[in-house]
């Protein structure tokens, strides 16, 4: 079964919400945890207990694990392994992008059979969309997914993403169209895009036929209204709202984390109707 099919099934079963595991130092402190590998592990274990088997996708922010070196990566490996073993989809938010053999190595790390292998990974196409081919090919072979940065909500992103190419399309639109070309065929494709939920305008997503990861929901200001404004009605079922701070702020109580997640799942249930 392709990643697109598995994701579609999970979104219908649990709702479309993707919950982040973002062990920011400020959150570790707020949860009464130490800013070291032990605190990181405790944070990850609480998140796994709260989200495993209750959400469509869990998205660990890789950078917050990397900052602790090999110990942090070991925690990330265990987190990915536990979630995937129980059937919860894991999206590694690594935002990798390079060329040739280096991109091939990144693809094998995050989409292969190794300890960091996830169900999907975020990638940056801004060395040219074709530079992502090793990841796209391995994802297709292994039944995994790739989420391509297209129109991000950070103000600096517009400097590049809104440039108009000679063919009249913005760079962001070009990235969406390139992803769409990889999603030909029936069912939800496995090449998604990342589009910020706080944008005032977005590329045309009507032909994507793939998942749309939308960060910036909740604490950052995005929500139901912004999603409706940015995404065509026919594509709403492919939207995966990504929430992190909005949920994690109520921790470390697993009961509170579960409750806030359930509220958001109800809020965004309209996407699957």
Catalytic residues: 95
Cα–Cα distances in angstroms (integers) from residue 190 to residues 82, 111, 131, 138, 140, in the given order = 23, 13, 17, 12, 8
Q: What is the Cα–Cα distance from 66 to 58, expressed in whole angstroms?
A: 18
Burial class (CB in 10 A: 0-12, 13-18, 19+), 221: exposed
Are 16 and 10 in contact by the 8 Å Cβ rule? The answer is no
Rounded to 5 degrees, φ, ψ at 70 are: -60, -35
Collect all residues with Cβ–Cβ distance below 8 Å to 55 and sequence separation of at least 6.
14, 15, 17, 18, 19, 88, 261, 265
Name the percent of the chain in helix, strand, coil, to the closest 5. Answer: 50, 15, 35
Rounded to 5 degrees, φ, ψ at 169 are: -85, 150
Omega before 252 within 30 of 0, i.e. cis: yes
Element (H, E) at 151: strand 145-151
**Cα torsion angle, 51, 54, 55, 56, sign:** positive
Nearest to 237 by CA among 261, 217, 264, 209: 209
């Amino acid at each position: 079964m392709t990643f697109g099919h598995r994701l579609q099934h999970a979104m219908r079963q649990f709702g479309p919400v993707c919950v982040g595991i973002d062990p920011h130092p400020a959150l570790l402190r707020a949860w009464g945890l130490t800013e070291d590998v032990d605190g990181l592990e405790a944070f990850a274990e609480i998140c796994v207990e709260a989200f495993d088997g209750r959400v469509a996708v869990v998205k660990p922010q890789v950078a917050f694990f990397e900052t602790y070196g090999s110990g942090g990566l070991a925690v990330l490996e265990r987190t990915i392994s536990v979630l995937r073993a129980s059937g919860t989809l894991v999206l590694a938010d690594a935002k990798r992008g390079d060329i040739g053999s280096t991109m091939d190595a990144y693809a094998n790390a995050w989409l292969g059979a190794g300890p960091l292998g996830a169900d999907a990974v975020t990638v940056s196409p801004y060395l040219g969309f074709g530079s992502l081919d090793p990841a796209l090919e391995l994802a297709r072979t292994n039944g995994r997914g790739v989420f391509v940065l297209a129109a991000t909500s950070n103000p600096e992103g517009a400097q590049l993403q809104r440039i108009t190419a000679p063919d009249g399309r913005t760079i962001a639109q070009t990235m969406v169209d390139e992803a769409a070309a990889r999603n030909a065929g029936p069912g939800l494709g496995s090449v998604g895009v990342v589009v910020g939920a706080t944008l005032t305008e977005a590329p045309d997503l009507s032909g994507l036929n793939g998942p749309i990861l939308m960060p910036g929901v909740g604490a950052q200001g995005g929500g139901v209204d912004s999603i409706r404004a940015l995404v065509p009605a026919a594509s709403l079922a492919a939207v995966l709202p990504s929430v992190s701070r909005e949920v994690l702020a109520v921790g470390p109580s697993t009961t509170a984390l579960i409750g806030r997640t359930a509220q958001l799942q109800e809020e965004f249930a309209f996407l699957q109707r």
